[in-house]
Structure 1
Amino acid sequence: RQTAEALGLPAPQVPALAALDVGRWRGRTLTEVTAAEPDAVASWLADPAHAPHGGETVRELCDRAGAWLEDTARTPGRVTAVVEPDVVRALLVRALGLPEPAFWRLDVRPLTAVDLSGRAGRWNLRVGAPLGEGP
């Protein structure tokens, strides 16, 4: 929300675009969790349908973000969404038809724009543009 507001954009909360719910791991770094629960982290990173933290699976995140993308594709005009990097990865997995394990292979740089254009079923991707730079 702070980033959207800093850009002068409205910042409504859209539940479908919320960050991945990591359950009881919330507020801890991946390094901390890995030190405490290495097997749980390994299984979480290997299996998009696994959520040892008791929160949401990567598959669930991809499904809800993908559903938002498909719904939004039916809206005329451009849509700007300011989201966390994990949501960008989920949107890319669904838009590009990538296998879910690719989620962890997509690096999304903070404060950059990712542009998806086209329509449901046929998305084009533009990555890495600095914020504020148009298509």
Structure 2
Amino acid sequence: MTVRLTLVCAPAAAERDVRFGEVPLDARALRQAGEVAALLPRASLRYSAPSDRCESTVRAFQWDVVTVEPALRDMDMGRWAGRTLGEVAEREGDGLAAWMSDPEAVPHGGESVSQVCDRVAVWLDGLPADAGRVLAVADQSVVRATVVSALGVPRALFWRIDVPPLAAVHLTGRNGRWNLRMGALSAVPDWEES
């Protein structure tokens, strides 16, 4: 059977400075998530990353049954958690440059890009073959890692994948082979036609 996965990136708070780690959603982000809920396809399995941001998104979607999946947790930012990109660039510019260019680098003491890709690949390949339609809400790093892992592209491309808030990634998979299907949530693919 074919697994049909729609992975939705959690919304972002309106905070101006990009901050590493957990940033709670504001009312605007929750309202946007609620507006997107009607565009999501039905699914036999629903997953959420364990972050407050993803769990708040699930509540805004009004999902009644969801599995909180630890493998979908956001990248561990180590000592950079809670700091802005500007602060890290100012204090640890060389470390930031290494992290952005080398998928194995861990200058912050957290997880490398490769470690996140490995973790997500294990989850992706472990989805039951008879799962049918699957929906998952995850943070931006996990959506990127899913695309990298599903397509088998070099991990150095991780940072070249732009994932805006509430973006949807559609994947179809069978026997360890995944295909990417592009489309906005307003154009959720009609899986019955494939």
| Same fold, judged at TM 0.5 (above) | yes
Match of residue 114, structure 1, among 144, 162, 169: 169
Tell me, yes or no, if the aligned pair for 1:62 and 1:91 is still in contact at 8 Å. Answer: yes
In structure 1, distance between residues paired with 2:78 and 2:182: 30
In structure 2, distance between residues paired with 1:112 and 1:17: 16
Tell me the residue number matched to 1:83: 138
In structure 2, distance between residues paired with 1:75 and 1:31: 45
Is the radius of gyration larger for structure 1 or structure 2? 2
Tell me, yes or no, if the aligned pair for 1:18 and 1:87 is still in contact at 8 Å. Answer: yes
> What is the Cα deviation at residue 118 of structure 1?
2.3
Deviations 1:13-35 (A, max 9, x none): 21100000010000112221111
Determine if the alignment matches structure 1 residue 103 to structure 2 residue 138: no
The residue correspondences of 1:52-71 to structure 2 (distance < 5 A) are 52-71=107-126
In structure 2, distance between residues paired with 1:34 and 1:119: 42
Match of residue 6, structure 1, among 55, 60, 81: 60
In structure 2, distance between residues paired with 1:6 and 1:63: 30
Read off the aligned partner of 2:87 and give its amino acid letter: E
Question: Which of 116-125 and 101-110 deviates more?
Answer: 116-125
In structure 1, distance between residues paired with 2:158 and 2:116: 10
Tell me the residue number matched to 2:148: 93
In structure 2, distance between residues paired with 1:120 and 1:44: 33
Deviations 1:54-110 (A, max 9, x none): 001110000000110000153421111100111000011110011001000000111
Read off the aligned partner of 2:62 and give its amino acid letter: G
Determine if the alignment matches structure 1 residue 44 to structure 2 residue 62: no
> What is the Cα deviation at residue 130 of structure 1?
2.5
List gaps (5 residues or longer) in structure 1. Answer: none
Runs of 4+ aligned residues of structure 1 deviating over 3 Å after TM superposition are none
Q: Percent identity?
A: 50
User: 2:75 is paired with a residue of what secondary structure?
Assistant: coil
Normalising by structure 2, we get a TM-score of 0.65
In structure 1, distance between residues paired with 2:140 and 2:181: 15
| Length, aligned pairs only | 134
Q: Which has the higher contact order (CA 8 A, sep 6+)?
A: 2
In structure 2, distance between residues paired with 1:66 and 1:2: 25
RMSD of the TM alignment (CA)?
Answer: 1.6
In structure 1, distance between residues paired with 2:68 and 2:113: 20
